[in-house]
A and B are shown apart, each in its own frame.
Chain A
């Protein structure tokens, strides 16, 4: 374990290509423990790709990412070069990192509770009764105690996303990543999901949120990161970011969405 004042996420000059498309260009970012960082920017700016790199859902082509002091996805060989880490180690690292997907990705053949307790039981080897108790508590926390035995197909989008957040929290992660968690939702369901996220932020969870929800960014974020064309354009606390953006590209982007 690293000391508590070390950054929980430390990304240095991350590079990512999709074929000839240079998607991330030397992206660096540090996130402190307990911090809530919102990543915004036009679509295609690489913000989702960057988020996916943090738990190695995408393989990075250059630079390095550390979470909790551990290099993500790669290990250092004896000669100092990097090679991709074993599947086991990558899987273990991911248990520390919760990920919430734009399209929820709940497992449709499992009930809400089963979705939540699957990984604690199978991966963490938590005893069944204990996992169920914890799962029920998490469902209550996201306001869905009564949906315990409902299959995802019977839940609204907002409810599904809340179950998905509970599923990620069940692994007791040190860090939560949100990939546009409200973009696939009907407008009237966005509020219930943001509420859960705001609650989480208040409780001190470290969060990196890719989102277009400027209201959430303004209220819950400690820092806003603006990305465009694969680079971090600007980062600042929300008050400063929204009132006096420095970069022309940020100004241009904000004028379009506010």
Chain B
């Protein structure tokens, strides 16, 4: 078809040339031939461009649209059932999966568009409802400045953007307490709004990658982890909420800067996030004479601040990572009561790829309630002191069975129960627990 098009164009050009020769004198002949030759060259260039475009398309069965996806299935079992999988009764649970598919297209050199749909089950949370994981367009003015609009993954910490994509890391769970919390991913994992990003070459100092986002985030009060978090809030040792019936994000801001230093393999980063949201809840206790138990009142998270410092050093197949996070929220309860919580956590992790089949990771994470690190207040209020901390040693293995198929096994040795959501902390939870996690993922 392409050769036929070419011949037709040639016939047209020569016909035009003959007509021109017939109608003009010999004096103008050279000028006309040159003009027609330039036209011919221009058409040939157009045909070459068309040809390369068609050849590129032939390599891509879906034309300009790229399609990728993954399917993960996991299994969780903990020795003392401290883990927040509901009602496993020592049997373990397969309610631990992720399925995602994405579509993207490079519309021009500078403009890109794409979307990913995700379905996830994590015990009582999320229950395999299909959601938009990310969907945005991206216009790159230059390498140092790009603009995105839509729903984007939040750049808080080194791993937040890839936490749904299991095959991209050795561990099953990221150091899984508040920094990469599994229970309310829907809130912390993406922002709907706008973003500015880019890479800045800072000469001998290396390279800076930045990303700043403004907008709002999802609050799932149907079966999301945030519903449980709200329903478990304690004010002065009393839980005043029986049910969270609605929730709305007012604003969300997230920012991150990563510095690729001049020292080979050393990456340093910093991130800051600020969120405001509110929820409508039913009270479980009388708040005042006019607000008896069962009243519908508002709960405002006036400020939720997150600060993260990150460091990663790569030497060949060994990656050493450590991050520190401090997070604080203030909540105002119907203008009558208020509460706040401040947590800090850090972790360190070593990840080594032994060969093309096996990668191993080992690490330690530590999380404490900054206001009650030793659990004295919790104990005085009748609770367990170990409910205010979690210390976790973990060891993970990843088997790359094929390029597209991985299997992972992981053990966590847990001390303390602060990793649980508030309403899952029961008085009969043991201080120590061992968690086994298995997971297999296929991606394309």
Do A and B share a complex? no
B: residues with CB less than 8 A from A are none
A: residues with CB less than 8 A from B are none
